[in-house]
Amino acid sequence: MKVSHVLFILNLVIGISGCSAEEDALPITPSVPCPPLPSPVPLTSDTPVSTQPSHTSLAPPKQQHTPGLLVVHPQNPAYFQDTATGKAVFLHGFDHFRALQEVNNNDVSPLDFQAFIAQLTRYHHNFLRLWMWEHFWRISEVNEIHPEGEPSHVRGPHIYQRTGPGNAIDGQLKFDLTKFDQRYFDRMRERIIMAGKSGIWVSVMLFQGWSLEGLGNFANTPWQGHPFNRHNNINGINGDVDQDGNGWEIHTRTHPQINALHEAYVKKVIDTIGDLESVLFEISNESVATEIPGRCHHVSRVQDWAFHQIALIRQYEDLKGVGPHPIGLSGFRPIPGDPPLEGNNLFLLSSPADYISPTGDPWSGKEEWKYDPPIATGEKVVIADSDHIQPGKHGGPGIRSWLWRTFTRGHNINTVDGDPHQGADWVSSGDSQTMRAMDRLVSKVNLAAMRPHPALSSTTYCLADPGQAYIVYQPLKPRKAHGEGEPFHLNLLGGDYRYEWFNPTTNEITHTGQITKATGTSTFKPPFYDHAVLFLLGVNREGQ
């Protein structure tokens, strides 16, 4: 979007929004009603586009191992297809909160992105969720790295330039929302290219729901350190439309000028990385929504905003002749004290997104994605993310068991470690070894033909191409015998099979061999007492 175009829009509301330097009171309820939403406006060839350079350097020549553009697999829509190879892809990754922007984390070592990518490659990870933060002051979560009452800063570069006049809440210059900081977009492009050289697709997070919290405490709230907070920009933009002390309505189309800013930003991202094939988009991480009628961040309004961003990306990529890149939606979240969003995951399935990342208890009010993931139906590609589901908390089965339950139900997987106290070791080796084991199994089968078949196994966790390959997971059950696991049943097509027993706790293959089975139900018993994985591969069928 041209700078003059953005300036014209912003100047319309300077007097309306105000730019007082006084601290806002934080009322419990909105003090002004929420305005109606605009009608969707179709993108045309007359829509202004960014006149700033998209990037400072061209992408290097494509390497043989560079990932190709992803499309939903035509034969097995639970997975993507790499258009460079034609093969189905099992996406699995391990991400970090600071993969794009650095935070002053009280002497915690900065992220070495090159070392991080090298460690992801060591475990054959092929997916990276590239986190972004909208705010610049006070990171969104308080934990042992970010002590209560001690401000934390998201270091530049940010999306917008800090030009002043005047200072923002952190004492540095205020933002000019008409001027992009080219360094932010250059870094995004450089890191996507670096990851792509290592065979990693990158999902670019466009917006961040955890940057809009007010929480009633001025000193510890990321919303107070957001560029769209009226104290922090020179353009008179005030994202707190209902004056409740939060910025949640930024992730709706309630504010016309913010709508224009969002559209200019999304186009700028596409201008910057749209020519790269190893890209996916994620609209937002855990935007806040409520089912309380009349609120500006009502779930219907947040959905409308998210769907608008999806339409914008598709229309603008078509206009630019790039992509189309897959677009994903993550589940929304209610604030503490609000009722669960009962239809959260159902809304994802009915959305126009290409892939989704569901939520778990308590935000959705249900726990199936934590304990007993639904089978992949092909309605959407699912990238199940431990960040949204929290399998190790609130009585969950633990991360290793959750990984295998989710994998054998036909889903892709992502895990997160946020801000680990690990120095230069940025990847959790145990979880990554688990996904490396899954990747090894996938390399031996025809993934496009593999589907979840819960009825074939008494465990109900069975990913199979019947007669060709079976991957069966047996969760740990109460001990009944020392040294051996509980038997389970598996309905097979007759033939000769090579087998492997895998121990998910130790991430080791414990036993291998070959068996002949008749068509029908067979009984298997793990040769160790632990949860277990059985892999059966038809003789002479590997790689078919």
CATH classification at residue 481: 2.60.40
pLDDT digits (tens, 9 = 90+) for 434-451: 999 999 999 999 999 999
Q: What angle do CA 499, 399, 116 make, to 5 degrees?
A: 95
Residue 383 phi, psi dihedral angles, 5° rounding: -110, 95
Report how many domains make up the chain: 2
Using pLDDT thresholds of 50, 70 and 90, give the confidence band for residue 22. Answer: very low
Beta strands in 239-395 (DSSP E): 279-285, 327-330, 355-357, 381-385
Residues 457 and 387 in one domain: no
The pLDDT, as a whole number, for residue 396 is 56
Other beta carbons within 10 Å of 285: 24
Q: Give yes or no for residue 61 having a pLDDT over 60.
A: no
The pLDDT, as a whole number, for residue 399 is 87
Tokens of 328: 């994903």
Residues 183 and 64 in one domain: yes
Q: Give yes or no for residue 4 having a pLDDT over 80.
A: no
The pLDDT, as a whole number, for residue 430 is 78
Using pLDDT thresholds of 50, 70 and 90, give the confidence band for residue 346. Answer: confident
Residues 209 and 298 in one domain: yes
The pLDDT, as a whole number, for residue 260 is 98
Burial 128-167 (b: 16+ CB within 10 A, else e): bbbbbbbbbbbbbeeeebbeeeeebbbeebbbbbbeeeee
The pLDDT, as a whole number, for residue 464 is 99
Residues 72 and 162 in one domain: yes
> What is the C-alpha separation between 389 and 344, in angstroms, rounded?
13
pLDDT digits (tens, 9 = 90+) for 226-261: 999 999 999 999 999 999 889 999 999 999 999 999
Q: Is residue 433 part of a domain?
A: no
> What is the C-alpha separation between 141 and 518, in angstroms, rounded?
56
**Burial (0-12, 13-18, 19+ Cβ within 10 Å), 421:** exposed
Q: Most distant CA pair in the chain: distance in Å?
A: 80
Q: What is the mean pLDDT of residues 36-57?
A: 47
Q: Give yes or no for residue 55 having a pLDDT over 50.
A: no
Residue 110 phi, psi dihedral angles, 5° rounding: -60, 155
- Of all residues in the chain, the percent with pLDDT exceeding 70 is 79
Tokens of 188: 């995004």
Q: Is residue 405 part of a domain?
A: no
Residues 386 and 496 in one domain: no
Residues 97 and 237 in one domain: yes
pLDDT digits (tens, 9 = 90+) for 188-201: 999 999 999 999 99
Cα dihedral 55→49→300→239 (10° resolution) = 80
Residues 385 and 471 in one domain: no
Quick one: three-class SS letters along 386-410?
HHHHCCCCCCCCCHHHHHHHHHHCC
Q: Are 81 and 89 in contact (CB under 8 A)?
A: yes
Tokens of 283: 């609209």
Residue 441 backbone zone (phi > 0: left; psi -120 to 50: alpha; other: beta):
alpha
Least confident interval from 48-52, 474-478, 488-492: 48-52
> What is the C-alpha separation between 144 and 166, in angstroms, rounded?
33
Residues 286 and 149 in one domain: yes
Residue 264 phi, psi dihedral angles, 5° rounding: -65, -40
Using pLDDT thresholds of 50, 70 and 90, give the confidence band for residue 103. Answer: confident
Q: Give yes or no for residue 410 having a pLDDT over 90.
A: yes
Q: Is residue 501 part of a domain?
A: yes
Residues 471 and 341 in one domain: no
Query: What are the C-alpha distances in Å from 426 to residues 110, 116, 147, 197?
Result: 10, 6, 21, 19
> How far separated are the first and last CA of the chain, in Å rounded?
49
Tokens of 316: 């603008």
Least confident interval from 155-164, 439-448, 478-487: 478-487
Strands 532-538 and 70-72: unpaired
Q: Give yes or no for residue 179 having a pLDDT over 90.
A: yes
pLDDT digits (tens, 9 = 90+) for 283-340: 999 999 999 999 999 999 999 999 999 999 999 999 999 999 999 999 998 887 888 8
The pLDDT, as a whole number, for residue 365 is 58
Residues 384 and 471 in one domain: no
Residue 372 phi, psi dihedral angles, 5° rounding: -145, 75
Q: Give yes or no for residue 15 having a pLDDT over 50.
A: no
Q: Is residue 284 part of a domain?
A: yes
> What is the C-alpha separation between 90 and 465, in angstroms, rounded?
15
The pLDDT, as a whole number, for residue 217 is 44
Q: Is residue 426 part of a domain?
A: no
The pLDDT, as a whole number, for residue 50 is 40
Q: Is residue 154 part of a domain?
A: yes
Q: By residue range, what is the domain housing residue 463?
A: 453-538
- Of all residues in the chain, the percent with pLDDT exceeding 90 is 64
CATH classification at residue 135: 3.20.20
Among candidate residues 262, 247, 267, 353, the one with its CA nearest the CA of residue 307: 353
Average pLDDT along the chain: 84
Residues 39 and 148 in one domain: yes
Q: Is residue 214 part of a domain?
A: yes
Could you tell me which residue, 470 or 360, shows the higher pLDDT?
A: 470
The pLDDT, as a whole number, for residue 214 is 73
Using pLDDT thresholds of 50, 70 and 90, give the confidence band for residue 543. Answer: very low
**Burial (0-12, 13-18, 19+ Cβ within 10 Å), 543:** exposed
Q: Is residue 444 part of a domain?
A: no
Residues 394 and 465 in one domain: no
Helix axes 399-408, 429-443, angle to 10 degrees: 20
The pLDDT, as a whole number, for residue 239 is 96
